[in-house]
């Protein structure tokens, strides 16, 4: 039996705070770059330049090889992830940072529903109630009927389930290969998937734009790595509530750097979603403890 390291809640919280800072860095940089490049080109260049961070993963990728099953799985995952990132970058250029961040909190909700539909995981009444609360939080943010929903809102709503499908496929792929190989091939397939969209709107980027996009890729890679460290150090029931800080930082940066207004309803809706998702994580942690036999 492999020894499970003891939980380190403080370390998990600190790693998750760092994760939030990295992803807020990504969000702010995308918002800035969106002023000079089409979103389709910006997201393609972000992944193309980010391939430099795949280089350390190449030894694992070469050792693993690529049989038909893995090739099909990696290619299949690249499709929803390409659309998800394309929609997310577009949304980022059209709606305030705080709204993008708050609506992104819905991703664990889609993951819960997807895991129940495709992996046969239980969808108990309490989890369904928490999902219902999260949807109410989204409605507080969007306020349909009380304000006009822009294409940016619709793009963000569509990107979140696409990301969820990508991560559900990743869960299955990690049973067949190492995380480094899964991440490496995701970068390659997404770059390929985004290329036609970038070509259709191509504008010659400046060296400054390329530098910002390389920095965006660095922040994104660091954020995924620190998130992994957070989940390794402490259960999601501990780390999930910390993600609400990301919304506070997003509101602050949007106001200070981009002149975006502070919308109390967006903050309220984001808080409702985070509370619901945190409850789901807490319930899962308790159920998992009950399933593990005492030895």
* The predicted structure's pLDDT at residue 215: 93
The residue range of the domain holding 203 is 9-291
Q: Is residue 176 part of a domain?
A: yes
* Residues 6 or more apart whose Cβ sits within 8 Å of residue 26: 216, 219, 220, 223
Residue 1 within a domain = no
For residues 65-79, give the mean pLDDT: 90
Complete DSSP assignment for 27-82: HHHHHHHTTTS-HHHHHHHHHHHHGGGGGGGHHHHHHH---HHHHHHHHHHHHHHH
Is residue 108 predicted with pLDDT exceeding 80?
no
Mean pLDDT, residues 164-184? 83
pLDDT at 31: 87
Helix or strand or coil: residue 147? strand
Percent of the chain residues topping a pLDDT of 70: 89
* Mean pLDDT, the chain, integer: 84
Tell me the pLDDT band of 248, cut-offs 50, 70 and 90. Answer: confident
Give me the number of domains the chain comprises: 1
Whether the Cβ atoms of residue 100 and residue 65 lie closer than 8 Å to each other = no
Q: Is the pLDDT of residue 127 over 60?
A: yes
- Let me know if residue 4 belongs to a domain: no
pLDDT of residue 57 exceeding 80, the answer is: yes
pLDDT at residue 294 in the model: 36
Give the mean pLDDT of 85-90: 94
Q: Name which residue leads in pLDDT, 229 or 94.
A: 94
Helix axes 107-119 and 264-291, enclosed angle (nearest 10): 40
Residues 269, 141 contacting (CB under 8 angstroms): yes
Q: Tell me: the pLDDT tens digits for 21-36?
A: 998 999 889 888 888 8
Residue 75 is assigned to a structural domain of this protein:
yes
Query: Band of the pLDDT at 88, cuts 50, 70, 90?
Result: very high
| Residue 180 belongs to some domain of the structure | yes
In DSSP terms, 147 is beta-bridged to 144
Mean pLDDT of the region 75-102? 92
Band of residue 198 on the pLDDT scale cut at 50, 70, 90 = very high
**CA-to-CA distance for 278 and 248, rounded, in angstroms?**
17
Does pLDDT of 44 surpass 90? Answer: yes
Residues 141-157, mean pLDDT to the nearest whole number: 86
Q: Would you say residue 3 lies in a domain?
A: no
Residues 219-235: what's their mean pLDDT? Answer: 79
Distance CA 44, CA 21 (A): 23
Is it the case that residue 155 has pLDDT exceeding 80?
yes
How many other CB atoms are found less than 10 A from the CB of residue 252?
A: 14
Name the band, by pLDDT with cuts 50, 70 and 90, for residue 151. very high
pLDDT of residue 1: 38
Q: Phi-psi region for residue 120, left (φ > 0), alpha (ψ -120 to 50) or beta?
A: left
> For the CA atoms of 182, 187, 190, 196, what is the dihedral angle to 10 degrees?
-150
Tell me if 76 is assigned to some domain: yes
Write out the two tokens for 184.
Answer: 């490496």
Q: Is the pLDDT of residue 291 over 70?
A: no
Predicted pLDDT at 208: 92
pLDDT for 121 equals 65
What pLDDT was estimated at residue 66?
Answer: 83
């Amino acid at each position: 039996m492999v020894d499970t390291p003891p939980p380190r809640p403080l370390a998990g919280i600190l790693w998750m705070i760092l994760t939030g800072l990295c992803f807020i860095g990504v969000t702010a940089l995308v918002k800035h770059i969106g002023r000079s490049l089409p979103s389709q080109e910006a997201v393609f260049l972000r992944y193309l330049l980010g391939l430099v961070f795949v280089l350390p993963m190449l030894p694992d990728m070469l050792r693993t090889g690529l049989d038909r099953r893995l090739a099909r799985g990696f290619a299949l995952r690249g499709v929803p992830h390409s659309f998800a990132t394309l929609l997310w970058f577009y949304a980022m250029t059209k709606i305030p940072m705080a709204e993008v961040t708050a609506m992104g909190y819905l991703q664990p909700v889609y993951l819960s529903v997807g895991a129940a539909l495709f992996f046969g995981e239980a969808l108990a009444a309490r989890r369904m109630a928490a999902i219902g609360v999260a949807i109410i939080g989204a409605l507080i943010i969007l306020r349909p009927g009380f304000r006009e929903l822009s294409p940016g809102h619709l793009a963000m709503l569509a990107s979140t389930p696409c990301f969820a499908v990508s991560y559900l496929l990743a869960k299955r792929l990690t049973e067949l290969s190492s995380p480094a190989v899964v991440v490496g091939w995701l970068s390659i397939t997404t770059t390929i998937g985004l290329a036609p969209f970038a070509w259709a709107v191509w504008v010659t980027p400046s060296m400054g734009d390329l530098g910002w996009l390389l920095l965006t890729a660095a922040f994104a890679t660091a954020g995924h790595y620190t998130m992994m460290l957070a989940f390794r150090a402490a259960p999601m029931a501990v780390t999930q509530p910390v993600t609400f800080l990301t919304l506070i930082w997003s509101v602050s940066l949007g106001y200070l750097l981009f002149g975006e207004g502070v919308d109390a309803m967006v903050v309220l809706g984001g808080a409702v979603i985070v509370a619901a998702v945190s409850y789901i994580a807490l319930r899962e942690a308790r159920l998992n403890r009950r399933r593990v036999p005492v030895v």
